[in-house]
Structure 1
C-alpha cells in the first residue's frame, strides 16, 4: 500500500494560519497517529490529506502522485468519521456496499467485497440487520467496513472512537489494531487520547498549534522526548515537572528539598533555571518530607498519590504496593536520578 508525503504544507483561514509548514513522511503500510490537544491542527491536517480542506500552499503526495488539488474521490483515500453516518433504512450489507453501487460496480463484485469486509470485521451475522439493531461499536465497524470495500490506498480515521463508552473504546482499539495487521494498509488516525496513540501507532506525530513537535515510535517519544511538551503529553499519568537551578552537585530542587545529581553532556552553567521531569512510575513515596498528601486514588493493583509541595507545585506518584497514605500527611519522594530529564526553563527544550 502507498505512503503519504507532506511537503511544507500550510493552511490559512483568511489571515489566520493554523498549519505552519508541515513536513512529514508516512511510509507504506504504517499506522500513523496524529495526536495533540484540542485546536492543535490534527483534524485539519487529516482533512487536507483527504481533500476536504483546501491546502493554502505546499504539496501532498499519495503513492508518489501529487494530489494537492485533486478531488477527494480521486485521491485513493477512504475516511472513517467520528459519527457513523449510516443509512437507517438500509441493512448492514447495503450500507457497506452503497458507495460501490453508486459508482456503478457490478453486483457480484459488490457482494464479494462486502463479504470479505464482513469477514475481517466479524459482521457476517449482522449483514441483514438495520443499524438501529446494532451497538455503537458494531455501527462503527460497519462504517469501517464501508471504507474497506473501497479498497483505498490510505485509510483515514478522524477520532472514530470518541462517541463510544470506555469499554467499547478498548474493544475497538484492539479491533482496529487487528484490522491493520490483517490488511497491512497505510492508516492515518487522529485522536486527542495519547493512550490510543501509544497502543495503536507505529509512528506518532505530536502536534501543537499547527506545528509538529516530534515524530517517532511510541516508546521513542516516551523514553526520549525532545521537549517538555512532548514529555508531558506522552505518558499517563503525565510526567511530573518541578523547577530547579543548576549547581555543581546537580539540579537543586526547592520543592523536593534536595539536589538531584543529574548527568548531562551539554551541561548549563551554574545558576541556570531549569525544569526537572520525573515520571510517576519512577518515583516512590517515603516517610519524612515536606510534601503533603492531597489525594490518593486506589485502583486495585495500582494507586496514584497526589502530593503538594510548599512551592505550590504538584506531583503524582504511582504506587504498586498497598500504599494507604492519608490525606494531609507529610511525606517525601525518592527516585533514580538517571531516570530524570532536564529541560530549559525558557525554551522548554530538552537538555541532554
Structure 2
C-alpha cells in the first residue's frame, strides 16, 4: 500500500514558518489535489513529500516507511514539473528511458517499460522524434511517461498544465484522469486552478498561508464549505457574498433593498454582522427597482453571466440561461430562494450552521 501520511509537518526558512502543523492522510490509489492561491504553500508541501525540501519537523510516511529524512531518490516517488525538462538532443524514447539507463537497467527491460508507457500515453507514433518536433501537450506527455517508466509508488505533479494553452489544458486534464484510472497509482497534484481540482480530484486539500482550510471530495467542498475562503475559492464563477445584519432570527441584506432572509442556522445575537453567501446559479433578475444595476453581461453562448452592482457598491454575478432581455444599465430586482443561502461569521469567516 502506497498512501501518504503527514503528521505535524512543519517547514521553516530561518525564522519564517511557511507550513504549519500539517496533518493529512492520502489513501492508496487516491488522486489528491492541493489547491490554493499563489504563496499558500502547496508546492512547498509537495516538494517536502518529494524530498526536495527538508521537513523542519514532523513526519512524512509513504506506505509503511518513514521517509522524512530519506533522500529524494530513495522515496519511491516520481515528479512531473511545470517545465518539461526534456533533453533536446534525445528522442522521445531515449528521454523516457534515460533515468532507467543511468541506473543500470537492462536494455530489454527499459524498452519494455518505455513501450508500456508509450501505449498508455498514446506516444507510439512519436518515439523517434525529438522534443522540438512535438507540441506542448506531447512534450508534457513525454515528461509524464518518463515518470511512469520508473514505476513509482506515488506520482507528484507540480502545476504540469500551466504552460499549455486553454484547449491543451482541457485535453491534458482528460489524459491525466484517464492515466490515473488505468494505472491506479497514488497521485498528488498541485494547481491554483480550482477547475482542475474539481475535475481531477478524489480528494481536495484547500490551503491558505501554509494551513489546511478544509479537506474533502470536490462536491463536499462545493456544497458544504467550512468557511468563507473555501466557499469563495471552490466554484466557478465564485460564490457571491453580501453583508447582512441579524434581526429577529433572520438576516437583513441592506444592499438588496433590505431583503430579509429566513434561515434555520444558529445565528448570533440581534445586531450582529454576518456574511450571506449565494452561488450565481441560484440568483435570478427581473426589471425593477430592487437595489441593483445590471453593469455588464458576459455572453458565452448557452449561458450568460450578468455582473451586477448592488446598492452599496457590492458586486454580484448571476448565471443567466434566458434570452437577453435587459440592456446594460438597467435597474433590476434580484431574487433567490432562502434555502440556497449560506451564512458566515463576519469576523472569523467561519460557516454558521
What does 1:319-330 align with in structure 2 at a 5 Å threshold?
Answer: 319-330=320-331
TM-score with structure 2 setting the length: 0.98
Q: 1:228 Cα shift?
A: 0.1
Query: How far apart, in 2, do the equivalents of 1:165 and 1:236 lie?
Result: 19
- DSSP 3-state at the match of 1:261: strand
Residue 215 of structure 1 is matched in structure 2 by 215
Is it true that 1:278 corresponds to 2:278 in the alignment?
A: yes
Query: How far apart, in 1, do the equivalents of 2:265 and 2:190 lie?
Result: 36
Is it true that 1:308 corresponds to 2:309 in the alignment?
A: yes
Residue 137 of structure 1 is matched in structure 2 by 137
Residue 257 of structure 1 is matched in structure 2 by 257
Query: How far apart, in 2, do the equivalents of 1:324 and 1:155 lie?
Result: 50
Residue 83 of structure 1 is matched in structure 2 by 83
**Alpha-carbon displacement from aligned partner over 1:244-287 (angstroms, at most 9, x marks no partner):** 01112611000111333332342322111100000001111112
Gaps of 5+ in 1: none
Query: How far apart, in 1, do the equivalents of 2:188 and 2:75 lie?
Result: 14
Is it true that 1:225 corresponds to 2:225 in the alignment?
A: yes
TM-score with structure 1 setting the length: 0.99
**Alpha-carbon displacement from aligned partner over 1:190-249 (angstroms, at most 9, x marks no partner):** 000000000000000000000000000000000000000000000000000000011126
Residue 240 of structure 2 is matched in structure 1 by 240
Residue 124 of structure 2 is matched in structure 1 by 124
Query: How far apart, in 2, do the equivalents of 1:324 and 1:210 lie?
Result: 46
Q: 1:324 Cα shift?
A: 3.9
Query: How far apart, in 2, do the equivalents of 1:7 and 1:251 lie?
Result: 41
Residue 293 of structure 1 is matched in structure 2 by 294
The answer to whether the 8 A contact 2:240-2:317 is kept is: yes
CA RMSD for the aligned pairs? 0.9
Residue 31 of structure 1 is matched in structure 2 by 31
The answer to whether the 8 A contact 1:296-1:325 is kept is: no
Query: How far apart, in 2, do the equivalents of 1:347 and 1:279 lie?
Result: 21
The answer to whether the 8 A contact 1:249-1:259 is kept is: no
Segments of 4+ moved more than 6 angstroms: none
Q: 1:38 Cα shift?
A: 0.2
Query: How far apart, in 1, do the equivalents of 2:203 and 2:343 lie?
Result: 25
Query: How far apart, in 1, do the equivalents of 2:326 and 2:84 lie?
Result: 45
Query: How far apart, in 1, do the equivalents of 2:170 and 2:64 lie?
Result: 35
